[in-house]
Amino acid sequence: MDSELVDLPYADLLQPHTGGLDVEGRYDTLHFDGLTLSGQDAAGSGFLECAVTDCVLEEGSLRGARLGDVWLRGTRFVGTSLADSSWLDSTATSCVLAGVEAHGASLRRVVFRRCKFDSVNLRGSTSREVVFEECVLRDVDLGGASLTDVSFPGSSLERLHLAKARLTRVDLRGATTLDLADGHEALRGAVISPTQMMDLAPALAAALGIRVEA
C-alpha cells in the first residue's frame, strides 16, 4: 500500500525548500516540490526527514550524499551522480533513474516502488533489506555489488549485470522477467522459481562450461 505525504510522521514539520543545493548542505524536514535542479553540485550533502515530489535532478552531483528517512515520489534523476551516497529508511515511488552513476552506494531498508532504472551503474554498491516492487531495471550494472535480503516482487530485470556480485538471501522468485547479461554464477546466493530455472538453464550451463548434447 502506497504511503502519502500526509502519512509521514514528520509531515507537519515540513517546510518548503526554495533555491538550489549546496556542497555539503544540510537539509532537515524540508519539502522539495516541483523543482528542476540542473547541473548542481550537492556532493556530501545530508538530507534528513525530507520529502521530494515531482522534481528533476539532472547532470548534477549528489556524490557522497546521505539520505535518512527521505520520501520521494515522481522524481527523475537523469545523468546525476549518486556515487558513494548512502540511503537509510527511505522510500521512492514512481521515480526514474536514467544514466545515473551510483557505484559504491549504500542502501539499507529502502523501498523502490514502481520505479524505472535505465543504465544505472551500481557497481560495488551495498544493498541490505531493499525491496524493488513492480520496478523495471534495464541495463543495471551490479558488478561486484553486495546484496543481502533483497527482493524484486513484480519487477522486470532486463540485461542485468551481476559479474562478481555477492548475493545472500536474494529472492528473485517474484520477478516477472529475469534476464542476465552476465554473472550467472552469482545466482548461487539467490532463490529462483522452477520456471526461472528452466529459462536460465542454457545460460547457466554455458557459464559453467557444461555442454548439452542430444
Dump pLDDT digits (tens) for 147-159: 999 999 999 999 9
Handedness of CA 199, 189, 85, 14 (dihedral sign): positive
Domains of the chain: 5-207 (2.160.20.80)
**63 secondary structure, DSSP code:** T
Residue type, 67: L
Across 1-19, average pLDDT: 91
Confidence of residue 90 (pLDDT cuts 50, 70, 90): very high
For the cut 90, the answer to whether the pLDDT of residue 32 exceeds it is: yes
